[in-house]
Structures are given as C-alpha cells and as structure tokens.
Amino acid sequence: MFGIRAIRYRPRSILRLILISYLVVLTPPVLAIVFAVGYLEVLFSQGRTAVYDSVRAAQNGRALVEQVTAMERSALQSVALGDSVFLQSYLRSREGLLGSLDALHPLLRYPEFAHRVESFRDHETSITRRLQDLVLLPTVEDVAAEFDGLRVQAREILDQSSLMIDQEVRSIQHQSDQARRTIIGIAAIQLPLALLSAVLFTLLIGRPLRQLRRAIEALGDGLFTRPIRIQGPQDVAGVGQRLDWLRQRLVDLEEQKAQFLRQVSHELKTPLTAIREGAQLLSDDIAGPLNASQREIMEILSRNALQLQQLIEDMLNFNMARSHRPALNPRPLDLAALIAGLLQDHKPALLSKNVQLEADLRPLHLVADEGKLRTVLDNMVSNAVKFSPRGGVVHVDCAQQGAEIWIDVRDEGPGIPEEERERIFEAFFQGKSALSGGSVIKGSGIGLAIAREYARAHGGEIEVRPSATGGAWMRLRIPGGSKG
C-alpha cells in the first residue's frame, strides 16, 4: 500500500503504534474543538459587550434628553429673573449631563458616534459660557433657541446609539455565521483526514498481524521452506524472528525424522526378507512335511510378514512424498479400464465380507502416472471395503465436469465424523475406531496421506464429501488433461 514502505519509523511495540494512531486520529478533532471553543468565547465576549453597550447607550441617551430639558428650564429662569440661584441649579444639572457623557466614553470607539458626542459637548460648553458671562448675557429667546438645538443633538445621540447597537448585533451575527461555516469547513476537512489516518494505521497495525497469521498457518500446513520475515513494530518483528527460528528447527526435525524412517525401513527390510523367505521355504516343505497346525502357524507368519513389508513400503513412499514433490511418469490412460482392473484385485476381500460392488464406469481418458493414480484409487477402495459392514454395498463411479474428472467411492459403513474429515489425511492419524464383526479395524495411518500427496502432485485433490445416506463418501478430483 502507498505510504507504508515510505514510513521508516518503526515503534518498539505495537502498543506504542496503537497509542500513536490514537493521538494522530484524535488530534484534529481536539484542535477543532479548541478552535471552536475559542471562537465561541470571542463571540460570547462580544455579545456581552454589545449588551452592556446597548443598556448603557439607552440609559445615558435618555438621561441626556431629560438633563437637557432640566438645564433649559433652569437657564430660562436664570435669564428671565436674573437670579443666581437658578444658575446654580443649572450647573448642578450640568454635572449630571457631563456624567452621562462620560458614561458614553466606551462607545466613542465608533467614529460617527464620537463626532456627535463631541459636537454636543462643544455646543453645551458654549451655552454654559454665555450663561456665565455677565457681559454677553443672552436673552430668553436666545437661550430657548440654543437649547432646542442642543435637545436635537441629544436625540440624535440617542438615535445614533440605537443604530450603532444594531450594527454591532448584525456584526456579531455575521461573525457567528462565519464561525459556523468555518467550523463546518474544518470538520469537513478533518473527517476525511481522520478516516484516512484510521485506515492507514489499521493497515500498519493489521499488516504484521496478518503476516504472523499466514506464517503460523504455513507452519501448521507443513510449509517449512519459506523464510518468515515480519515487517512492523519491533516486538512483532521479534516474534517473526522466533517463528523463523521455530521453522528452521522444524526443518531440522523433519529431516531427522525422514532420515530415521529411511534408516529404520532399510534396516527392517533385510531381516524381514529373510523371515519371508524362510517361511516360504517351510511352507514349500523344503525342511520336511508340515502338519496342519504347523502349516496354519506358517500361514499366519507369512501373512503378518507381508503386512509388515507393506507397512514399511508405505512408510518409505510417504517419506519420499513428503520430502519432495513426487516425480510423475505421465502417459495416456483409460480410466475405466484402470478402475476395473483395480476392483478385480479387491474381489477376494469383497467376497470374504460378502460386500457387493456397484460400479458405474464411463469411458474417460486422461494423462497421468498410472502407478501413483492406482495407489490413490487403491487406498480409496481399500478403506471403503475395510469399513463396509457384512452384506453392505460399495459404490464406485466416475464422471467428467468441464476439464475435471471426478472419481467417487462410497460405502455403507459408520462414516467419518465431520471434525475428522480433514485429519484423516494426516500421517499416522487414527480416527474413532469402527467395529466390524466385533474387532477393531486398524491401519497404518499413512495410506490416505500418501494418496493426497499423489493427488496433489497431479494438480488434483482428494476429499471427504458429506453423505446424507450415511457411510463415507470420498471423491478424487483430477484434471482431465493432466500431464503431471
């Protein structure tokens, strides 16, 4: 995958890699939350300021209008009566007006509003000076006219403060809309990034685990030739190195086992041959005639010697099949004739157990190794006859499906449990013993293992099929045009 090979950093453990993945995936959302909280805090602060300003502007704007009216009344009385007491009342009202103007100071950050307040202050200062100047004592009409203008300015300040607050509210609303769009945009960008980071780290974490699983499965399947190399965190790579060490140990053990089997088989064949030849000489009355009991003992001895020789040959064949792929000598074959000849060899065993044979052999031709294919079919038929009850039936048939040929062998015996359908092809595996006539049926345990090796050497497979009618159903699938 892209990016995986480019990443050179190899954490010491897969737990650290998981922690890094959490940090990488969670950092963008956390930053987005922090940004959103900060942005909202600014908006809340501006909104709070706007509320305070609106309340201040409304209160002090109305106070200006009221104070201008009170000052006008005192000024008119002072001019009309010439009494300084009313001038003092005017000055006290003026102090309240100046206080209201000072309260509007935070709103002077708006240029237009500041200009109106400054004009109002200058106008009011001019009126006060004229009232206090005894030389330029104004008339009542002049005072009324001046205060009419001042009252208009006060109302303009009140109106301007309301407009200013409306503008502030609209600005806050615009900023909130912009903040919402920004947060949505950040989320829209961060979500794919978070998903991409999650996918990337899933691959980084899952890849070495999958490699470990495949390596363990390969060891379980007996594939010891492929070295185990795990790329990932150092602890997982260390597990891969131990698995490769285990693989090498298994290779050594497999070689030792094969060598042991070869040596033991070779050592056993020489004395076994002498036993068989000696038994044959005694059976031929070379050392003198035998009575009935002696001849029966010699037949038992010969039969068991032959069985022991067959077991040794099976062990040698299995050892050869497992050590390397069996060499094939393919040639064109008539499958029906091959199966018919094989069934003829099993006739004595069928008659001894009173087992009937039903064969449906179609004329099929293929290219295969006759000896090894015969070994596969012989093991299939031998197992069917061995586990068939007395008076049972063994079915043998073949058919072609596309480019693949099927050979089915079915019996009416106890069948094969589902949990053993794969294990019966393992070397030396003995399944649940089936009883036939009160005796336990035993075998070498490697016949079907050899059969599977030979079938796979042809590019085919031997398997156990589920049977709805009971008994065992074995099928050999082999390419129709196989040349080995």
What are the backbone angles phi and psi of residue 390, rounded to the nearest 5°?
A: -60, 135
Which pLDDT value is given to residue 243? 82
Q: Are residues 199 and 62 in the same domain?
A: yes
CB count in 10 Å sphere of residue 125: 12
Q: Are residues 335 and 414 in the same domain?
A: yes
Judged against a pLDDT cut of 90, whether residue 394 lies above it is answered with yes
Q: Are residues 436 and 458 in the same domain?
A: yes
The residue-averaged pLDDT of 397-414 equals 90
- Domain interval for residue 238: 234-321
Which pLDDT value is given to residue 410? 92
Domain of 339, CATH number, reads 3.30.565.10
DSSP 224-235: -SSPP---SSHH
Q: Which residue type, as a one-letter code, is found at position 312?
A: I
The Cα–Cα gap between 49 and 466 comes to: 82
Task: Give the neighbor-by-neighbor strand order of the sheet with 356-360.
Answer: 356-360, 393-401, 404-410, 473-479, 461-465
Report yes or no on 184 lying in a domain: yes
**SS3 for 407?**
strand
Q: Are residues 189 and 49 in the same domain?
A: yes
Domain of 244, CATH number, reads 1.10.287
State pLDDT tens for residues 244-290.
888 888 878 877 777 777 777 767 777 777 777 777 777 777 777 87
- Percentage above 90 pLDDT, the chain: 6
Q: Are residues 400 and 253 in the same domain?
A: no
The Cα–Cα gap between 380 and 366 comes to: 19
State pLDDT tens for residues 2-24.
344 434 555 666 677 777 777 77
Give the 3-state DSSP-derived string for 410-443, with helices as H, strands as E and coil as C.
Answer: ECCCCCCCHHHCCHHHCCCCCCCCCEECCEECCC
Report yes or no on 229 lying in a domain: no
Report yes or no on 145 lying in a domain: yes
User: Quick one: pLDDT band at residue 324, thresholds 50, 70, 90?
Assistant: low
- Cβ neighbors of 248 (< 8 A, separation 6 or more) are none
What is the tally of structural domains in the chain?
A: 3
Report yes or no on 89 lying in a domain: yes
Q: Are residues 289 and 350 in the same domain?
A: no
From 321, 345, 371, give the residue that closes a domain.
321
The Cα–Cα gap between 387 and 382 comes to: 9
The residue whose two tokens read 């299995």 is 318
Report yes or no on 220 lying in a domain: no
Judged against a pLDDT cut of 80, whether residue 56 lies above it is answered with no
Q: Are residues 27 and 176 in the same domain?
A: yes
Report yes or no on 211 lying in a domain: no
Q: Are residues 245 and 129 in the same domain?
A: no
Q: Are residues 257 and 169 in the same domain?
A: no
Which pLDDT value is given to residue 435? 38
DSSP 251-310: HHHHHHHHHHHHHHHHHHHHHHHHHHHHHHHHHTTTTS---HHHHHHHHHHHHHHHHHHH
Report yes or no on 215 lying in a domain: no
From 267, 294, 321, give the residue that closes a domain.
321
Q: Which residue type, as a one-letter code, is found at position 61?
A: G
Q: Are residues 455 and 381 in the same domain?
A: yes
Q: Are residues 336 and 310 in the same domain?
A: no
The residue-averaged pLDDT of 239-245 equals 82
Which pLDDT value is given to residue 406? 92
From 303, 321, 339, give the residue that closes a domain.
321
Parallel, antiparallel or unpaired: strands 404-410 and 393-401: antiparallel
User: Quick one: pLDDT band at residue 319, thresholds 50, 70, 90?
Assistant: low
- Least confident residue range of 178-182, 275-279, 322-326, 358-362: 322-326
Judged against a pLDDT cut of 80, whether residue 341 lies above it is answered with yes
Q: Are residues 201 and 288 in the same domain?
A: no
Report yes or no on 218 lying in a domain: no
